[in-house]
Amino acid sequence: MSRQQVRGNPRMRRGLGSRTSDPTTMMEDPPSGDWLTLRSDQFLKWVDDAVYNIAEQTGIRDVVNRVTRPIFNWALRYSPWPLHFGIMCCALEMGAAGGPDHDSERMGVVYRSSPRQCDILIVNGPVCEKLRPKLKTLYEQMADPKWVIAMGECAIGGGPYWDSYSVVAGADTFIPVDVYIPGCPVRPEALMHGFLTLQKKIREQEPGYFLRR
């Protein structure tokens, strides 16, 4: 980085404990101590490491996790937000499960249209080769912790299209699947039972920790 690209007085940008004052290098990859010159992502990582190390050394981490884990785990179980995404036939049954006859919302299930707001991906149809990278991208855009439900025979193993050149033989070949719901198509009651199964799995798993790595 050239001297002209560093605005202001470069010497004033030097953090406490800095081991360099060269403006051509300190803004690229600042060494330990140059916290005033960190980029936003570096600063967030520095804060995260500092909080985690302090909590680990003082024993606060175990105390906080012991108190907050049941609360967070309860919130994760009873507020599952699936992605409002349909592929084929089972998507109609997914919509029926959210209708007034079955009312899956009474279980805390709220469908959202943005993967950033969801923690459950429901694969409800055959996944073709063109859809696979897009579906994986949606899964990667979801925040942790997250889960996947394979709804129907097509999502589980390809269904009647299992030997097609353009159909993937199951969603678990490219993303981890937590709950399998067999059927063709899957009844709304079966999908709601799948949500109950997922709630039981969340209760038994680790999610719920506040300070963790």
- Give the residue numbers spanning the domain of 171: 80-204
* pLDDT tops 90 at residue 11: no
Q: Position 76: which residue type?
A: L
CATH classification at residue 148: 3.40.50.12280
Q: Are residues 42 and 134 in the same domain?
A: no
Q: Are residues 169 and 98 in the same domain?
A: yes
Q: How confident is the model at residue 66 (pLDDT cuts 50, 70, 90)?
A: confident
- Lowest-confidence pick of 37-46, 107-116, 186-195: 37-46
Q: Which residue has the higher pLDDT, 161 or 14?
A: 161
Looking up tokens 């992502």, which residue turns up?
Answer: 41
pLDDT of residue 5: 47
pLDDT per position as a tens digit, 102-130: 888 888 888 888 888 888 999 988 888 88
Q: Are residues 124 and 49 in the same domain?
A: no
Is position 3 within any domain? Answer: no
pLDDT of residue 94: 86
Is position 66 within any domain? Answer: no
Closest C-alpha among 200, 181, 213, 212 to residue 73: 200
Q: Are residues 199 and 122 in the same domain?
A: yes
Q: Are residues 37 and 125 in the same domain?
A: no
Given strand 120-123, what is the order of strands in its sheet?
A: 120-123, 147-151, 179-181
Q: Are residues 37 and 109 in the same domain?
A: no
Looking at the structure of the chain, the number of domains it has is: 2
Q: Are residues 139 and 196 in the same domain?
A: yes
Rounded mean pLDDT, 14-33: 46
pLDDT of residue 57: 79
Contacts 24+ apart (CB under 8 A), 90-95: 90/124, 90/125, 90/151, 90/152, 90/154, 90/155, 90/183, 90/185, 90/186, 91/124, 91/125, 92/185, 93/124, 93/151, 93/185, 93/186, 93/187, 93/188, 93/191, 94/122, 94/124, 94/151, 94/188, 94/191
Q: How confident is the model at residue 36 (pLDDT cuts 50, 70, 90)?
A: low
pLDDT of residue 212: 64
Q: Two tokens at 159? A: 């269904």
